[in-house]
Amino acid sequence: MVSLILKAGREKSLLRRHPWVFSGAVARIEGSPGPGETVVVIDAKGNRLALGAFSGHSQIVARIWSFDPDTTIDTHFFHDRLQRSLTRRPAFVENTGVRLVNSESDGLSGITVDRYGPWLVGQFTSAGAQLWKQETARILVEMTGTKGLLERSDGEVCAQEGLPESIGPLVGAAPPEKIPIQEHGLTYAVDPWHGHKTGFYLDQKDNRLLIRDGCIGMRVLNAFSFSGGFGLNAVMAGASHVVHLDSSAALLTQAAQNAHCSQLPDDRFEYCKGNAFHKLREWRDQQRNFDVIVLDPPKLADSQAGLQRAARAYKDLNWLAFRLLARGGKLLTFSCSGRMPADLFAKVVADAAVDAGRDAMIQRYLGPPADHPVSLAFPEGRYLKGLLCVVD
């Protein structure tokens, strides 16, 4: 078996069971591994530490499959990992959209699979995941009894890993253009072929439900609205008016369709296409107010170098939101940037409140639901963090 020999002292993260080996930690490679091939990681003293998948085109030169170097990485290994992943998920009853495999946090680095009703949609964004994707898809379809698995390996992650984009059915039949799912009594039409990530943001399901508390008669701004989830929940709970704000006309149309599918009154919704930074400034100048504001922007920090720029952008957004909130109003604010630490995000929001001249308190710290577990050894998996703030 091909060996990755680490530099002296560079084994510490592996001893803490972190699943990545960076190229800068490797002293030499003994052998000529192909993309995704299983390699054994050995420390400078000759101790075998783990087995991982090799990637010569990535800064992460190996992604760990197992910290038991005597494990055999084969079909039985993936069957066991996938079975364990399924058994730790909540019951698939009320909500017909659920994450089944959460990459590193389920011990399957680079593999993410979501279930939408009778269909699976997966992303395979590492060399090892690509090598084993056909087998992974076959096992999951058999275990779940679903109709098929659509691959959605696209976007910037593939480019960073030196992988070609791949979209299409892996196992079974191709899904339709739209898949209806149920979530907390609402209906959404998921676009598995073209939607963000696998077609829907399942990681916000619990937070979408949270907005229902105290929404009767409220005026709500749902910024970066995507398919309208927060706004739909607000109206279902009795909000008098919801503004969906997004830069995409297609997503606003989808939000309107979801409202119709959920049999919610059309006259409660307003759809606004525009840049959130610009529109929030415009509404501030017009002295427009909202009782509840949701800020759920796309990832603003895609590298460590861009973290400070992202912090400024988050502060600007939250400052504007605090200026637009009525007294006693609520702000649900989120960051999905894995590079943004939770404590820094909280500080940025606190600074925004101070600069806006508002007294605010954190009522709840927010994060992903139970089907998006985060390994204690892999804190990077906690990419979604949020705050529920109340202003005086």
Residue at token pair 């952008």: 313
Q: Which of 259, 258, 233, 228 is nearest to 244 (CA)?
A: 228
Which two three-digit tokens encode residue 173?
């039949």
Catalytic pick from 158, 215, 336, 389?
Answer: 336
- Residues for the chain: how many in total? 392
Q: Which long-range contacts (CB under 8 A, 24 or more apart) does 247-256 make?
A: 247/273, 247/274, 247/275, 247/276, 248/273, 249/273, 251/225, 251/226, 251/227, 252/225, 254/189, 254/191, 254/227, 254/228, 255/225, 255/226, 255/227, 255/228, 255/231, 256/228
Active site includes 336? yes
Q: What angle do CA 186, 229, 318 make, to 5 degrees?
A: 155
Rounded distance, CA 361 to CA 368, Å? Answer: 21
Q: Which amino acid appears at position 73 of this protein? A: I
Q: Which long-range contacts (CB under 8 A, 24 or more apart) does 364-370 make?
A: 364/210, 364/388, 366/207, 366/210, 366/332, 366/334, 368/203, 368/206, 369/202, 369/203, 369/205, 369/206, 370/89, 370/90
State which H helix or E strand residue 82 sits in: helix 75-87
Q: Cite the active site residues.
A: 336
